[in-house]
Amino acid sequence: MNRMTGKGWCARGMDRLNVLFLFADQMHAFALGCMGNEEIHTPHLDKLAADGVLFRNTYSNIPICTPYRGVLFSGKYACQTGIYGNTDALPADGKCLADRLNEGGVRTSYVGKWHLGGKGNIGVPAELRGGFQDFIGYQCYNDFLKQVWFFDENGNREEFNKHRSETTADIAMERLEQIKDEPFAMFVSFQDPHYPLQPSKPFDRMYRGKRLTRRPNAVDIDPYTKTESPPTPNYELDPNYLRYGDDLDEYLRMYYAMVSQLDYNVGRIVDKLIETGLYDNTVIIFTSDHGDMQGSHGVKNKQLFWEESTRVPLIVRVPKGARGEVFDECISTVDFYPSIMEYCGLMPADDVEGSNFVPMTLGLEQDWKKQVFAENKGRPMSPYNWFMVREGKYKLVVEQTAFQPTHLYDLEQDPYELVNLVDVLPHITSQYRSVIMNWHQEMMARADHATEGAV
């Protein structure tokens, strides 16, 4: 594993950079034009990739909302922190990413969905904010058109009368104006394209009536998912809400519309960087917390090891960095913590698990790590209870209790995971089972917040 040494960016005679970290919610890696999808309209993200670098093999270390954020801000795997549930909070006694950035003189700012330590359309108390100095957002809610509420640092609620996507971008741009004169790291969390899907009408019209191509591993399912925080919109009583019902094709159209609306608002924020003179000294990172199954392998939503659930987009644009590069190296969530520290010119932390991918984004040679790991914790022997490793073309999945191998795929020959090789290639299966077991043993040896019952 490559860990850069020294005092970071500034020690190499370069100016420290600001960081703008933009992330979607439930956007899989394949919903981008620059990823080869010719049916989706994402011109702003495609341009960002052309102006920076595109990582085609990026994985969520745990494909579910809160646990992903736990990995992002702790720099540690869920098996180490015990953050497996959608109401878990960050460890109270650990150094989160924002804490270390604050100590280094970086202004930390957060906008949007938080979803750590609670649920619902409510504010986030200071003790749950992971150390962020500036904070305006909400815990977790699912409305798009009504009760669009953001809560500021003092708990004051402001209600907005426009779609949540535009609201999130508006607030992010206002906050950029406030912090533009000092080094900053801003995180903007969009809740799109998370279900229930409610794009604004201009974006809905972009795909209305179009027949979109399903992934070859998809089967017809009912994509409807009831939500409780708050309840799913009442489609029958309010004509302003769009309904996909039990129609997977309609779900895909609305999902694409939500991604296009997200793309539009990313473009607005990038334009704001240019307008304020920040574009030439700000790193822009775009990714997502996890993907969306959309009928692939006969299932919906996330939490599973399939590519549609674990594989997410990643675009990084660095001023004076690489342009138009496409990388197939495997990146995962734990790599953001050390990389953001490096972009901000700070010393690398020695108690986080990720690796620093900064040199690649500068167009420099880098001996990158070979493996990425992912996990989810469910009931023993359930499909939601697994560890996964990806190295090169192979991907192995085991259940957690006895590390029993369940799935092996050759992703070069079988990108849609249609042929399970777990019994066909026993030597490869055995090799990667050992890799997962050794990784887990090493991670647990360094765990300092593993909770009772964590594997």
Q: What is the mean pLDDT of residues 341-369?
A: 93
Pairing of strands 405-410, 394-399: antiparallel
Contact 179, 278 (CB under 8 A): no
pLDDT tens for each residue of 401-442: 899 999 999 999 999 999 999 999 999 999 999 999 999 999
Q: What is the mean pLDDT of residues 231-256?
A: 87
Residue 443 has pLDDT above 50, yes or no: yes
Contact 372, 392 (CB under 8 A): no
Is the peptide bond preceding residue 230 cis, with omega within 30 degrees of 0? Answer: yes
Average predicted confidence (pLDDT) for the chain: 92
pLDDT tens for each residue of 280-328: 999 999 999 999 999 999 999 999 999 999 999 999 999 999 999 999 9
Residue 60 has pLDDT above 70, yes or no: yes
Express as a percent the part of the chain with pLDDT over 70.
95
pLDDT score at 228: 79
Q: Crossing angle of helices 248-275/164-179, nearest 10°?
A: 20
Is the peptide bond preceding residue 183 cis, with omega within 30 degrees of 0? Answer: no
pLDDT band for 232, please (50, 70, 90 cuts).
confident
Contact 343, 357 (CB under 8 A): no
pLDDT band for 9, please (50, 70, 90 cuts).
very low
Residue 449 has pLDDT above 90, yes or no: no
pTM for the model stands at 0.94
pLDDT band for 452, please (50, 70, 90 cuts).
very low
Residue 222 has pLDDT above 70, yes or no: yes
pLDDT tens for each residue of 65-80: 999 999 999 999 999 9
Contact 109, 187 (CB under 8 A): yes
Contact residues for 278 (Cβ-Cβ < 8 A; gap 6+): 18, 176, 180
What domains lie within the chain, and their CATH numbers?
Answer: 9-369 (3.40.720.10), 378-446 (3.30.1120.10)
Residue 4 has pLDDT above 50, yes or no: no
The CA distance from 137 to 168, in Å, is: 9
Residue 11 has pLDDT above 50, yes or no: no
pLDDT score at 8: 47
